Structure 1
Amino acid sequence: MSEQFTRRIDGLSAPAQQGLFGRIRRGIEKEGLRVDSQGRIVATPHPHALGSKLTHPYITTDYSESLLEYITPVFSRPSDALAFLGDLHRYSYRYLGQELIWPSSMPAELDGNDSVPIADYGSSNVGTMKRVYRNGLDMRYGRIMQSIAGIHYNFSLPDELWTHLQEIDGQQDVSAQAFRSRAYFDLIRNFRRNSWVLMYLFGASPAVDRSFLEGRDAGLLPHGQQTLLSDTASTLRMSDLGYQNKVQSQLRICFNSLENYIGTLRHAIVTPWPAYEREGVEVDGQWRQLNANMLQIENEYYSDIRPKRVARHDETPTQAMESRGVEYIEVRCLDLNPFTPLGIDEQQIHFIDTFLVWCLLSPSPWINDEECDRLDDNRAHVVRSGRDASLKLSFAQGDRPLAECLEEIFDAMAPIAELMDSADDDGAHQQALAGLRELIHHPEKTPAGRMHQQMRDSGSDFVTWSLERAREHAQWFAETPMDPARDTLLDQLVETSHQQQRETEESDDIDFSTFLQRYFEHARRLKVNNGAQ
């Protein structure tokens, strides 16, 4: 245990006993495909009764018209975030008819690329931009990759913690904004060193339907009639079968500082890529992509974690961080857990919070190119072979067994869990650590391991198995009550969101080409506030 780590733990002891960690803020974004009663992706429009997917704050779509996305407000209590997420499901099921919400990260049965309908956000310039961006994703990566679903977990620490931590570190001569941004990047670097922990513990995608791979076997084993299965994978979603981009792999996005991170992203957004140039941007009056650059916009960059700040209406995400620093981080490597109706539960949230605070408080040297390559290799090994008891991870000092590494990390997290529980009697963070520790030497008890075993024992195909879970979840939502006030709120938001979309469409006074030109001209402007660097 380093001197810095011990000093921070000791310095935060008194504030923790006063409830400091009870003010952690979190929000959950959950995706889920709409499917029919046979487990096939549907092509029906997003239900009008759920509101406008362009303007509704909580119910929208991700890439596809069929890919629901739920966004909770920010809460301090995990139970409140989960309750809100549950009510978004209950409200949706009221208008889904015979459709179900797919419980797995890897998609339901598909019928080729065109069976994944691109989301339509209406005729406004903003809505058209969303559509054209998705056209570009289709052209670059295909729609099938975009049908994968997951959980995004947004996490921020209370202002009081940053004040205490800055004093403990003796950094009062640095602006609060700069200190916070640097510390969040410290967290991010340690997360990237250890994100494989979350992929091992919570990965839940060891199987795919054959339709996803369109005739390829990808080194997986045939199972049942329509399934390809891995005996060792933790999360195929995070493997090269899931989100991948050979162009992006050349970017070497740097997480050593906010300035470097923004600079690398901005370079990618303005740098043309020959293959994309050959496809064209606007061809015969049809927009194929927003531009022919390495990234169309910042959101196209895939990563297991991102620094974030809520942007104002006249800002891009990076401009918001340039101006006011990092506000929160977004964890993006979490599979849907098909064993729970919400795809995530309180134990997992308490563990993730403990893990993120450990990443923050632990020493976090900058990552050089050699270490970056090792980290990529370690993640790749865990996502494909995490349940292989003989798996070893690579470090500068040599290779080490995965289980040994996990034991060491759980031990290092123990004082963090104790610190975070010091104001409560329930010991939720320590219980989460204890409950998940048994998975270290029992990969068959991880979600991926349980899913693999159940499919093996029953002989069920992936679609059949997932469809059974979807029906169980739908029944649970039907039998559990919805908060009446939230029901009323969601009713109100339906009409409000449709009205907002109409007003957006009516207020446009320039054509889309001019709108896009102005957007990118504005996006290239620097909005640096020295306190953010």
Structure 2
Amino acid sequence: MSEQFTRRINGLKAPAGEGLFARIRRGIEKEGLRVDAFGRIAATAHPHALGSKLTHPYITTDYSESLLEYITPVFSRPADALEFLADLHRYSYQKLGDELIWPASMPARLDGNDSVPIADYGSSNVGTMKRVYRHGLDVRYGRIMQSIAGIHYNFSLPDEMWRYLQEIDGQQAVSPQAFRSRSWFELIRNFRRHSWVLMYLFGASPGLDRSFLEGRDAGLDAHGERTLLSPCAATLRMSDLGYQNRVQSQLRICFNSLENYIGTLRHAIVTPWPGYERIGVEVDGRWRQLNANMLQIENEYYSDIRPKRVACHDETPTQAMEARGVEYIEVRCLDLDPRKPLGIDETQIHFLDTFLVWCLLSSSPWIPDDECDRLDDNRARVVRQGRDPALRLESEEGTTLLSDRLRELFDSLEPVAELMDSGLETSSHCDALEALRPLIDDPELTPAGQMYREMKASGSDFVDWSLARANEHARWFRETEMDPARRALLDEMVETSHQQQRDTEAADDVDFATFLSRYFEHARRMKVSETA
């Protein structure tokens, strides 16, 4: 263990014992396709009874009209976040009729690119921009890739944590905002070094329906009538079959500092790309994409983790961070676990929190280009071969068995879990480590391993197996009680959100081209930090 790690662990023992880590804040964003009773992606519009997907704070859609997205508020207790998420599902099932929420990350049965309907957010300039952006994703990457679902985990630390760390490190001369942002990027760099751990432990996409590949050869094994399975993959969702962008692979977005991150991201947003220029932007009065640059907007950049800050109404995400620093991080590499009604549970959350705090407290030098390439290679190996007991990962010292690397990491996580539990009445973080430790030596205990074994044993196709889980979850959501106050809140939000959308549409005073021009002109401006 590094000297920094030991110093920080020891320095945090007293505040941890007083409940410091009980004040961690987290929010969950969970996607799920609406499907019909046969496991086909729904062609129906987003239910009006769920509210406006443009303005509802908790129930919206991601890329597709069929891809529900649930967003919880921020909670300090994992159980509260999960219960709110469960109530969003319960409420939806009161409005979905015979439709189901698909429980897996890889999509239900598709019928070509056009079977994935692009979300429609109404006639306002803001809504039109969201739709044109999605059209741009279609012409750049296709709609099928955008039908994949996952979980995004938003994680932030109590303000006191940063004050303690700054004092422990002897960095009082640095502005609190600068110290906090620098520390977040230390966490992010360690996350990038070890994100393969989450993909191994929680990857849950070892197979897919043939319709996803549209006849392409992906080197997978045929299974059943319509399924392609991998005997070793942890998460095909995170492989080159899932979220991929060959143009973005050339961006070299840098996570060594906030300034480098913003600078490289902005470069991509203003740099034209010849292939996208050939597509055109507005052609014969129809918008094909927002612009012809490497990225249309910041959100187009795919990454396993993002630094974030809540933006004001006139800010882009990077402008918000430029002005006030990093506020929280968003973990984006988590598959839905189809065996769990919510796709995630408390054990996973406690492990995530322990892992993220470990990433923060551990030494985190900058990542040079050669290490960046090695990390990408390790990640690619785990997503496609993670359940191979002989898999080895690269490091500066040579190659090491994945299981040995995992064992070493779990050992280093133990003092963090003990620290975090010291101020609680439970041993939830240590318990999470112990619950997941058997997965180190037995890949078949991982979610991907269990899914693979169950499909092979039953002979079930991926769609049939997933559809059975969807029906089980639907019954559970329909039969369990919803918090009455939350039901009343969501009822009220339905009409409120529709009225907010109408107000937004009525407030537009320029055409879309003018609105978009003003948006990008404003987005190019640098924001001055609010602290000296």
1:32-47 equivalences in 2 (<5 Å): 32-47=32-47
What amino acid does structure 2 have at the position aligned with 1:293? N
1-structure distance, mates of 2:462, 2:525: 48
1:274-293 equivalences in 2 (<5 Å): 274-293=274-293
What amino acid does structure 1 have at the position aligned with 2:464? T
Aligned partner of 2:484 in structure 1 is 484
Are the equivalent residues in 2 in contact too, given 1:35–1:102 (CA < 8 A)?
yes
2-structure distance, mates of 1:381, 1:480: 41
Per-residue deviation, residues 284-333 of structure 1 (Å, max 9, x unmatched)? 00000000000000000000000000000000000000000000000000
Aligned partner of 2:110 in structure 1 is 110
Shift of 1:76: 0.2
* CA 1:367–1:531: 2 relative to 1, 3 Å: farther
Are the equivalent residues in 2 in contact too, given 1:196–1:378 (CA < 8 A)?
yes
Per-residue deviation, residues 31-87 of structure 1 (Å, max 9, x unmatched)? 000000000001100000000000000000000000000000000000000000000
1-structure distance, mates of 2:517, 2:209: 41
2-structure distance, mates of 1:33, 1:3: 47
Are the equivalent residues in 2 in contact too, given 1:217–1:228 (CA < 8 A)?
no
What amino acid does structure 1 have at the position aligned with 2:6? T
2-structure distance, mates of 1:95, 1:19: 41
Shift of 1:15: 0.1
Shift of 1:425: 2.9
2-structure distance, mates of 1:183, 1:47: 42
For the pair 1:257 / 2:228, whether they are aligned, the reply is no
1:181-330 equivalences in 2 (<5 Å): 181-330=181-330
What amino acid does structure 2 have at the position aligned with 1:529? S
RMSD over aligned CA atoms reads 0.6
Shift of 1:423: 1.3
Per-residue deviation, residues 111-152 of structure 1 (Å, max 9, x unmatched)? 000000000000000000000000000000000000000000
For the pair 1:420 / 2:420, whether they are aligned, the reply is yes
Aligned partner of 2:509 in structure 1 is 509
For the pair 1:332 / 2:332, whether they are aligned, the reply is yes
Shift of 1:528: 2.8
Are the equivalent residues in 2 in contact too, given 1:120–1:131 (CA < 8 A)?
yes
Per-residue deviation, residues 232-262 of structure 1 (Å, max 9, x unmatched)? 0000000000010000000011000000000
1:82-231 equivalences in 2 (<5 Å): 82-231=82-231
Shift of 1:424: 1.8
Are the equivalent residues in 2 in contact too, given 1:107–1:208 (CA < 8 A)?
yes
2-structure distance, mates of 1:127, 1:419: 46
Are the equivalent residues in 1 in contact too, given 2:324–2:530 (CA < 8 A)?
no
Shift of 1:411: 0.2
1:369-388 equivalences in 2 (<5 Å): 369-388=369-388
1-structure distance, mates of 2:182, 2:235: 30
2-structure distance, mates of 1:492, 1:87: 15
Aligned partner of 1:520 in structure 2 is 520
Local SS of the residue matching 1:439:
helix
Aligned partner of 1:49 in structure 2 is 49
Shift of 1:401: 0.2
2-structure distance, mates of 1:33, 1:465: 16
Per-residue deviation, residues 261-300 of structure 1 (Å, max 9, x unmatched)? 0000100000000000001000000000000000000000
2-structure distance, mates of 1:95, 1:24: 34
Aligned residues: 532
Moved over 4 A (4+): none
2-structure distance, mates of 1:324, 1:242: 34
What amino acid does structure 1 have at the position aligned with 2:312? R
Local SS of the residue matching 2:30:
strand
2-structure distance, mates of 1:444, 1:127: 45
Local SS of the residue matching 2:68:
strand
1-structure distance, mates of 2:423, 2:337: 30
2-structure distance, mates of 1:217, 1:449: 23
For the pair 1:461 / 2:441, whether they are aligned, the reply is no
TM-score by length of 1: 0.99
Are the equivalent residues in 2 in contact too, given 1:338–1:466 (CA < 8 A)?
yes
What amino acid does structure 2 have at the position aligned with 1:56? H
1-structure distance, mates of 2:512, 2:23: 43
Shift of 1:426: 1.5
Which range moves more in the overlay, 285-294 or 210-219?
Answer: 210-219
2-structure distance, mates of 1:84, 1:417: 25
What amino acid does structure 2 have at the position aligned with 1:129? M
2-structure distance, mates of 1:59, 1:425: 34
Per-residue deviation, residues 131-180 of structure 1 (Å, max 9, x unmatched)? 00000000000000000000000000000010000000000000100000
Shift of 1:531: 4.2
Are the equivalent residues in 1 in contact too, given 2:72–2:85 (CA < 8 A)?
yes
1-structure distance, mates of 2:219, 2:195: 24
What amino acid does structure 1 have at the position aligned with 2:33? L
Local SS of the residue matching 1:293:
coil
Are the equivalent residues in 2 in contact too, given 1:34–1:68 (CA < 8 A)?
yes
Per-residue deviation, residues 194-240 of structure 1 (Å, max 9, x unmatched)? 00000000000000100000001300000000000000000000000
Local SS of the residue matching 1:69:
strand
Which range moves more in the overlay, 522-531 or 301-310?
Answer: 522-531
Local SS of the residue matching 1:438:
helix
For the pair 1:433 / 2:433, whether they are aligned, the reply is yes
TM-score by length of 2: 1.00
1-structure distance, mates of 2:465, 2:56: 32
1:10-89 equivalences in 2 (<5 Å): 10-89=10-89
Are the equivalent residues in 2 in contact too, given 1:282–1:288 (CA < 8 A)?
yes
Per-residue deviation, residues 96-117 of structure 1 (Å, max 9, x unmatched)? 0000000000000000000000
